Structure 1
Amino acid sequence: MKSFCRAAMIALAALFGVGFASAAHADSGTISIRIVKAGFVIGGSAGSGVLHFHGHNYPLSIGGLSYGFTFGASETRFHGRVTNIHRPSDVAGVYAQGGAGAAVGRGAQAVVLTNQRGAVLTLTGEQTGVIVSLDLSGLALSLK
């Protein structure tokens, strides 16, 4: 619980800090990620992905926890853009989100997330599985 609170605080600081950070020299790239989420009250997620930045591919590792009402399992494949980065390592960090949702079968997903470095993920994708959730979740991305 203590690490969850810390992740939530970092995410809030990142959200407020984005408005103050200078984006004059920031760049962008594309990202594809696959996340598998499962849980009963406390949930976990894991996955992998690829950041495409300045003509190079950078493999990503993804992990996370959620706390609240979570029941079931799902897989989501996201594709989109990452903005406000200067180097590939700026993508690494904790992204926090609160939300409610349910999926049975297939469903479209869209999300915008920010980490403590100001990197902004704008993702769309498709979720498959059976899951119901009303939770706060933290997602940690790291370069492999």
Structure 2
Amino acid sequence: MRILSAVRTGLVVLAAVIGLSSSALADSGSISLRIVKAGFFVGGSAGSGVLRFHGRNYPVSIGGLSYGFTIGASETRFRGRVTNIRRPSDIEGVYAQAGAGVAAGRGAQAVVLTNQAGAVLTLSGEQAGLIVSADLSGLALTLRR
């Protein structure tokens, strides 16, 4: 009976270690992005940036569309962290967001976005321009090769 209990306890501990080790393999990096957004009811976004991961820089391209109410143009420069990635390509994908806002001149921005692979972007920065929006938007990030 004691042997069975010890085996059961050992299996539970082993399962916990395996579960922790797979999430412990996830890593993080830093990222800087420049995004230009413009629109007249339907909007578009484009930009570029750099992912810094394990001491190397990886250029990033950004494109996106927004649907809803968007009038004007703005430029946002973000800096932040990328978490829950194992390799640079994990940042690739679509990051969706719903939002509303008005920007005239300069203002602070902060956002947290997640893609389909589970990568999390935690960004803050400054927005400049004149834009009014209430929309659903998606940003597609890809590594430039």
**CA deviations over 1:27-76 (Å, ceiling 9, x no partner):** 00000000000001100000000000000000000000000000000000
Corresponding residue of 1:74 = 74
Corresponding residue of 1:28 = 28
Q: Which amino acid aligns with 1:141?
A: L
**CA deviations over 1:109-131 (Å, ceiling 9, x no partner):** 00000000000000000000000
* Mapped partners of 1:131, 1:104: distance in 2: 7
State which structure, 1 or 2, has the greater radius of gyration over its C-alpha atoms: 2
Displaced runs of 4+ in structure 1, greater than 6 A? none
Across the two proteins, how many residue pairs are aligned to each other?
123
* Mapped partners of 1:50, 1:23: distance in 2: 25
TM-score by length of 1: 0.84
* Mapped partners of 2:69, 2:117: distance in 1: 29
Question: How far did 1:25 drift?
Answer: 1.0
Secondary structure in 2 matching 1:23:
helix
Query: Quick check: 1:98 aligned with 2:89?
Result: no
Corresponding residue of 1:7 = none
Runs of 5+ consecutive residues of structure 1 not aligned to the other structure: 1-21
Give the alignment of 1:94-133 within 5 angstroms: 94-133=94-133
Corresponding residue of 2:18 = none
Question: How far did 1:136 drift?
Answer: 0.2
Identical positions, percent: 80
Q: What's the Cα RMSD here?
A: 0.6
* Mapped partners of 2:87, 2:54: distance in 1: 9
Secondary structure in 2 matching 1:89:
helix
